[in-house]
Structure 1
Amino acid sequence: MKKTFTKVVKSVSKVRPLLGHVHYTNDRIELTDSHVAIIEELKTPLENSFDILINLDGVPSAAHYPELKRLVPTDNTNRFVIDIPIFEAVAKINKKEQFLRLESDGTISGQKVGDFERLEEFKYIAFDPKYVLWLLEYAKESGQKEHITIELSDSAVKPAVVHFEQPETLNTFIITPIRLRNDEI
């Protein structure tokens, strides 16, 4: 199991036990802690249908897991190409801060972390540094070392999404933004 999976599931296991599982079906693997979600869809689904939740100890559960595919935004029009090493350095330096605010000029705290491939009415978005580091770790585990493209809405409160194509899976990482108060904007 990927290290990022373990971090996400561990973060929520005690406070929200239902989410402290990995959800397996014949066509996908998914998990969430309600702030991030990872969905790995098999390009070729397995023949036999199944639906099972398993916790980190390998114990199955009969509980009903939330439908994560409905959370994947389909209308994010802004595409931001992240320079992974620079973004990771900025996130690590600021990991004790309450949020990282990505501006429309591609900067966080004045440091350029990437470039917009497409920009339509986007002003800013803020993320918890911990979740940004999880995203970057997952990107590396998925074979992305230099750049990833994050899809953003023009709203600072809608989830952002990154897609990763692997030989056998299409993977989606969803990260929810932090709502900033007026004095933080």
Structure 2
Amino acid sequence: MTLEATITQLEQTNANLVNEVVAIKTTAQDNANTAVQKASEASQSADHSLAAKNAAEALYGDLQAVDAAKTTAVTKASESSDSAAAAMASEQAAASSEANASAILSAIQDAADLYDDTAAGIAGTVDGKHFRVVSEGGAVITLYKNVSGTATEITVFTSKTLEDNREAQLRADIAALVLNASETPVRSIFFTGATGAFIDASSEGA
């Protein structure tokens, strides 16, 4: 082979190598561009995922707030219902008390006369009428109604003086019983509502 042919062949080989290098560089650049694009897409997907996560958390928070609001509303409604029921009960009790007070006032107004005992009251009134009986020196007035000839007690009015005297007597009876308890080991004691005092059964039998 001549020298010129050899040089020509070398130049051709060199040109082929240059073309291969250029092709490799182009492929590498394309791959790099593709990688950058994929990275960008991955970053966008991550951003979208983060946005979706934040939106989900915000929605969950809103749902919790809604549930809390619903619970509060139910509690308030229950409290309002209870308050309304209590108010209604109080109103009914007040109305009942007012009705009772009005009935007693009407009965007092109807019972114009005072009597010494129920027999006199029954004798002095007709069926359905009210009368008053005075006792304990005027300290107690009992309101009765003539029901078919029977004295039916309606209510009792007691003077403050009598109440004070009964309380003082009760305190004195208690003090006496406590004092006597230290002297007598066993005592039989009972309370009588008729006189509003304690009775020592042991002393009665002594």
TM-score band (shorter)? under 0.3
Question: Which is richer in strand?
Answer: 1
Larger radius of gyration: 2
TM normalised by structure 1 equals 0.17
TM normalised by structure 2 equals 0.16
Question: Which is richer in helix?
Answer: 2
Query: RCO greater where, 1 or 2, for CA within 8 Å and sep 6 or more?
Result: 1
